[in-house]
Homo-oligomer: A and B are copies of this chain.
Amino acid sequence: MSRFSLSFRLDPQHKAPLYRQIYLRVKQAIMDGKLKTGSRVPSVRAMASELGVARATVENAYGLLTAEGFLQSRGQAGTTVSAPASLSLPSSSPESETKVHKPINPMLPSVSSLPFQLGLPALDAFPRAIWSRIVSRQIRHTSMNDLGHPPLTGVDTLRNSVARYLQLSRGFTCRPEQIFICGGYAPVLDLIIGSLLLPGDGVWLEDPGYPVTQAFFRAAGATPVAVSVDDEGMNIQQAVADFPQARFAVVTPAHQSPTGVTMSLSRRMALLDWAAKQQAWVIEDDYDSEFRYQGQPLPSLKSLDTHGRVIYAGTFSKTLFPALRCSYVVVPESLVEKVEAYCPLRICATPPLLQSSIAEFIEQGHFYRHLKRMRQLYAERRGYLEQALTAAFSTDMLRINQQVGGIQLCAKLNRSLDDAVIAKCAREQGLAVQALSDWQVFRREAGDELRPNGLLMGFPNIISQEEAGFLSQRLRKIFSEISGVGKYP
């Protein structure tokens, strides 16, 4: 063991951060067979002390390797090498070759930190030191009364900061009282559904679309209406023709989830017209609009909402990080009282300590600076993946959707390939690729002309062209294994 850990030195001048260097060296050692499956790697403390780095640096590297399935933590027994099944490594313990990753319900988004994981911002680029300083200061200033029952609807300072942010960045004005802080996307839906939905209400849902949305409306007794998405976003004309009497529509106008399409202005206007006539509610899930690579972020649908029919949902999971568990919903003035009355049943679950910390992070300008940096970074990292996929796949096999923002890439597959089979096999090999067909509102028969067929890939954590190449090759190999289309070199 110690021979391994002594066999490399870190290069502080290297372009890659230290944790990344450790990650790459250990991964290489595993792939070269120098570290055998089942063997122990040095403890975080030992490795940190040998390399002369902070423990957090080693933890970052080990965490990444664990997430990718190369390492496995065995508690007291230490951390051992546990290569994903796809890499046929020399093995000293056959039982550790069994599947590392649990099968994931394909209808629901997985929430791992594997490569290609959807919905995950660039974790390496988040200003952790600043955040840590802010939270530490906030907790030192916690008074006795801050320990009591938290404000049902969220902490006032955060509601104020969000109102200012929305005005600056999303183009609409609201009072802080219209903003309800929530502990994630599900609590946002709980609040809306609990305050407003009646059983049997029709709900227009984008097809394909985020599976969680559908699950919640179904569970509440609503009638989901699948509305197809084309290159202008949700097909409003079709929806009005098919089911005009719906009471809700849920849309992702900035970058449609999952296709990445931006809803056209004429569709936006048609949607708002319908809502005004029908007295329906439009839920704008603005989950990643902040990340647009070309030009400014588009104004929100809410900014066009002259009749007060749009309920706007935002989240800090993508703009800050998912472990925060913090999101928010902005309701029209006419709904404030109704939603407030429901809040005692759905107390905001984000602890006030973290709400106040987010407010301070915004007010000190860190939030705006971070978003600006991420816009550039995500353009760069998407470029890595696009280039690597283009090199690994022919365009008649896989074709990348063009899009101008967001944090995931959507690629259409040739009809002869089955996206669900590929995604399942990829997941088993530790790649969190998702199948577009799993995001259908109603599952159609395989072979159906309209069946979406493609792959969804998160790219914010692909930090180099080299890594993008490595991951694309792994994916390409899976295609070969399954379909026999092409040969892996």
Contact = CB atoms under 8 A, between A and B. Distances in A.
Interface of A: 19, 55-56, 59-60, 63-64, 66-67, 105, 108-113, 117, 119-120, 123-124, 126, 128, 131-132, 135-136, 139-150, 152, 183-184, 186-187, 190, 194, 212, 215-216, 219, 221, 321-325, 341, 344-354
Contact of A325 (B143, B184, B341, B347): B347
A144 B323 CA distance: 11
Most buried by B among A64, A148, A194: A148
Given A19-B144, A132-B139, A216-B345, 4 more contacts: A113-B148, A126-B147, A351-B354, A354-B354
A188 to B, nearest CB: 11
Contact of A350 (B64, B112, B132, B349): B349
Contact of A128 (B135, B147, B150, B344): B147
11 contacts: A56-B143, A59-B145, A64-B145, A111-B152, A112-B149, A113-B148, A117-B149, A126-B147, A132-B140, A215-B345, A350-B351
B132 A147 contact: no
A349 B325 CA distance: 6
A126 B146 CA distance: 12
Contacts of A144: 19, 60, 63-64, 123-124, 126, 128
9 closest residue pairs by CB, A with B: A63-B145, A183-B349, A111-B149, A147-B321, A349-B349, A108-B344, A59-B143, A113-B148, A136-B136
A194 B119 CA distance: 24
A73 to B, nearest CB: 10
Nearest to A58: B143
Contact of A351 (B19, B64, B149, B323): B323
Contacts of A63: 143-146
Contacts of A148: 67, 113, 117, 120, 123, 321-323
A297 to B, nearest CB: 23
Nearest to A66: B145
Given A143-B63, A144-B128, A323-B352, A186 B149 contact: no
A138 to B, nearest CB: 9
Most buried by B among A141, A147, A190, A216: A147
Contacts of A64: 144-145
Given A139-B135, A345-B215, A352-B323, A67 B221 contact: no
A56 B323 CA distance: 29
Contacts of A131: 139
Contact of A56 (B120, B141, B321, B352): B141
Nearest to A215: B345
Most buried by B among A64, A142, A352: A142
Contacts of A105: 341, 344
A126 B64 CA distance: 37
Contacts of A190: 190
B323 A353 contact: yes
B123 A323 contact: no
A325 B183 contact: yes
B149 A142 contact: no
Nearest to A150: B323
Nearest to A146: B323
Contacts of A140: 132, 136
A119 B149 contact: yes
Nearest to A147: B321
Given A345-B212, A347-B111, A145 B132 contact: no
